[in-house]
Structure 1
Amino acid sequence: MGINIALDGPSGAGKSTIARKAAEKMNYIYVDTGALYRSIACYVIGKGIAPDSSEEIIPLLGEIDVKLEYKDGAQQVILNGENVSDKIRTPEISMGASKVSAIPEVREFLFGLQKNIAAENNIIMDGRDIGTVVLPNADVKIFLTASAEERANRRFKELQEKGDSSTYDDVLADIKQRDYNDTHRETAPLKKADDAVEIDSTNLTLDESISEVCRVIEENLKKKQTSDNSDGGEKKQSIKTREIAPVRPITKTHRLSHFRMFWYSILRAIVIGLYHLYYNITFEGTENIPKDGGNIFASNHRSYQDPVFIALPTRVPLSYMAKEELFHQNFAFTLVIKAFGAFPVTRGKGDTEVIDTSIEKLEKGRNLAIFPEGTRSKDGKVGKGKTGVALIAAIAQTKVVPVGINFEGRLKFRKKVVVRFGEPIIPSEIGVTSTNPKELKIIKNTIMDKIKELVHD
């Protein structure tokens, strides 16, 4: 894992400029998360949709492709192939970003991108919930603030230089409104992390603010590195090469009870019959399915039926992650998804608890289904994988079975479905014995490559 610096604070505190300059000075990558949310706001506003209309925005997320690129050291925001770096800096987009960021599905949509960048690089990431939600284990956390009047004055000058006609009073009103929105939203509100260092830049010049941020970073990294390397004279991993989490291989000595397996086999037989009636479904590579439990099945994501498609030829019950909202629907539905091994994932929160739950399921003898893309593909193409599956596989040191789910034809009834199971990937056999970034990248790329081979072009 790279060195992660979280820099939070209210709108107009100078986070973006200061974080970017500090990153240049320290030779880190700067990640402007606000630009990601501004891009979403830019897209939906361009469609004539209100930025707080979650019902209209959520279906559009599949149309959005936002990337951060770096050219000559400068961050470029690419929205569906267009460089919108300047376009997203208007007051209208700024206010829109505050509103779209309150939508849990939007935060989840961008969460994986932020985590992936942080896992593989030395970064300074700024936003409003970086130290509390996105990077709760960041090496250094800073909360940068300034008075509302000073923040409005700085933003007003920036807009004047760009020829914007907004008045100071307009900008101050926007700043105060956004402060209220950001601190009162239900999902990931703006707040200072308990272990963050607060820097008030009201009376500091830009250069003084940058110097102070760099000083705090360097001072805290030195303290952390000294602590990491001073345990009875034994040399520990440096902060640059440390693991994300300790490896704790599952024992595979636990088995599910005969009673549970008996009732699961009956339920599975019934569901197999129903699914063969509704779908024209075939399974390939079933010889690659391990006979025991404690394995990971990593699959592309086509529909809500995917966990069932994977479970049908698998004799040991599967567990899989499902969004928490599904567990608050009707009682019967909740019982059904729990019976098929679903456990809740809370959007907008860190993933430490999810990883622990996943390892616990594997240790108890269940298999685990994971969809590395994190979202369903509408066109059938396999997207980029996230690091979660790689991290769980590396910690557990267990087999990963790649799965390719293919839909053929357009008929809803008797749609042809082909589910392919590839040869298991064993972490240690491909050189993955720890959770450092390089090894996680190896297993993530291996898994995604194998999935793509199992999916039709």
Structure 2
Amino acid sequence: MSFTVAIDGPAAAGKGTISKAVAAHFGFAHLDTGLLYRAVGAGMLAGGDPVVVAQGLDPADLDADALRSAEVAQAASEVAVNPEVRDALTAFQRGFAARPEGAVLDGRDIGTVICPGAQVKLFVTASAACRAERRFKELQAKGSETTLDAVLADVQARDTRDAGRSTAPLAAAADAVLIDTSDMSIAQAVAQAVALIENAQKTLRG
């Protein structure tokens, strides 16, 4: 029987870092579902039909570094509203979640739409100010010339857009455990997630 961990949350809350650490700890496969839409967006920019790209997507296409550009991010937001693209990527994600070795999926609608039957559901969040500061430091490290106020405005706008969209809005599943990383270290957040998963595994074993 497969074991699925669904981790949702807003941008820069730490869900990606926690997901990778949890997957490594338990030997589970990990999928950053946001990269799926970026990969389809990149395929569209290269001249492909987004639906065809989505239907033929392979895990090998998910090169995080190559998919982080602003141009690809914009293309990803365009293809994400296509119902046929969403259907294809939903099927991809559910197939990934069924891996026999166990899987961790992080995104915005994993616990609510993609894997509502996941054995563990986490909602990782942090204050907008805290998330903006983290993202600002990341951008500074990459040489980006921006301001903290501009990054905060972008984070808040994205939160509003994600929570207000008609299809699969960002929301915590009713049975998700909330992890607020505002005042936590990465190690503390990962330890909390690991403990929750271990408890779920013990319960399943009876």
Match of 2:141 in 1: 161
Structure with bigger helix share is 2
Match of 1:29 in 2: 29
Match of 2:76 in 1: 97
Structure with bigger strand share is 1
- Residues 406-436 of structure 1, C-alpha deviation per residue, up to 9 Å, x if partnerless? xxxxxxxxxxxxxxxxxxxxxxxxxxxxxxx
Match of 1:343 in 2: none
> Which structure: larger Rg?
1
Greater relative CO (CA pairs within 8 A, separation 6+): 2
- Residues 371-420 of structure 1, C-alpha deviation per residue, up to 9 Å, x if partnerless? xxxxxxxxxxxxxxxxxxxxxxxxxxxxxxxxxxxxxxxxxxxxxxxxxx
- Tell me how far apart the structure 2 counterparts of residues 92 and 198 of structure 1 sit (CA, whole Å): 32
Residues 98, 178 of structure 1: 8 Å contact kept: no
Match of 1:399 in 2: none
Which of 114, 125, 143 does residue 134 from structure 1 map onto?
Answer: 114
Q: 1:172 to 1:103 in 2, by over 3 A?
A: farther
Q: 1:11 to 1:102 in 2, by over 3 A?
A: farther
Match of 1:39 in 2: 39
Match of 2:187 in 1: 207
Deviation at 1:15, TM superposition (A): 1.1
Deviation at 1:63, TM superposition (A): 4.2
Residues 44, 75 of structure 2: 8 Å contact kept: no
Please state whether the residue corresponding to 1:31 is helix, strand or coil. Answer: strand
Any runs of at least 4 consecutive aligned residues in structure 1 with deviations exceeding 6 A, and if so which? none
- Tell me how far apart the structure 1 counterparts of residues 17 and 89 of structure 2 sit (CA, whole Å): 21
Deviation at 1:221, TM superposition (A): 2.4
- Residues 172-199 of structure 1, C-alpha deviation per residue, up to 9 Å, x if partnerless? 2221121111111111111111111111
Which of 198, 202, 205 does residue 218 from structure 1 map onto?
Answer: 198
- Tell me how far apart the structure 2 counterparts of residues 36 and 153 of structure 1 sit (CA, whole Å): 26
AA of the residue aligned to 1:125? L
Structure 1 stretch 3-12 or stretch 165-174: which is displaced more?
165-174
Structure 1 stretch 167-176 or stretch 128-137: which is displaced more?
167-176
- Residues 270-294 of structure 1, C-alpha deviation per residue, up to 9 Å, x if partnerless? xxxxxxxxxxxxxxxxxxxxxxxxx
TM-score (norm 2): 0.88
AA of the residue aligned to 1:23? A
Residues 141, 197 of structure 1: 8 Å contact kept: yes
- Tell me how far apart the structure 2 counterparts of residues 184 and 99 of structure 1 sit (CA, whole Å): 16
Please state whether the residue corresponding to 1:195 is helix, strand or coil. Answer: coil
Deviation at 1:166, TM superposition (A): 3.7
Instruction: Write the mapping of 1:423-442 to structure 2, written as runs, cut at 5 A.
Output: none
Deviation at 1:220, TM superposition (A): 2.4
Residues 95, 174 of structure 1: 8 Å contact kept: no
- Tell me how far apart the structure 2 counterparts of residues 100 and 170 of structure 1 sit (CA, whole Å): 26
- Tell me how far apart the structure 1 counterparts of residues 76 and 157 of structure 2 sit (CA, whole Å): 13
- Tell me how far apart the structure 2 counterparts of residues 27 and 140 of structure 1 sit (CA, whole Å): 16
Deviation at 1:150, TM superposition (A): 0.9
Gaps of 5+ in 2: none
Match of 1:12 in 2: 12
Residues 5, 105 of structure 2: 8 Å contact kept: yes
- Tell me how far apart the structure 2 counterparts of residues 40 and 194 of structure 1 sit (CA, whole Å): 30
Residues 9, 127 of structure 1: 8 Å contact kept: yes
Percent of aligned pairs sharing the same letter: 41
- Residues 433-457 of structure 1, C-alpha deviation per residue, up to 9 Å, x if partnerless? xxxxxxxxxxxxxxxxxxxxxxxxx
Which of 49, 73, 90 does residue 111 from structure 1 map onto?
Answer: 90
Deviation at 1:92, TM superposition (A): 5.1
Instruction: Write the mapping of 1:142-157 to structure 2, written as runs, cut at 5 A.
Output: 142-157=122-137
AA of the residue aligned to 1:217? I
Gaps of 5+ in 1: 48-56, 70-77, 227-457
- Tell me how far apart the structure 2 counterparts of residues 168 and 130 of structure 1 sit (CA, whole Å): 30
AA of the residue aligned to 1:15? K
AA of the residue aligned to 1:181? R
Residues 91, 174 of structure 1: 8 Å contact kept: no
Deviation at 1:33, TM superposition (A): 0.5
AA of the residue aligned to 1:225? R
- Tell me how far apart the structure 2 counterparts of residues 214 and 172 of structure 1 sit (CA, whole Å): 30
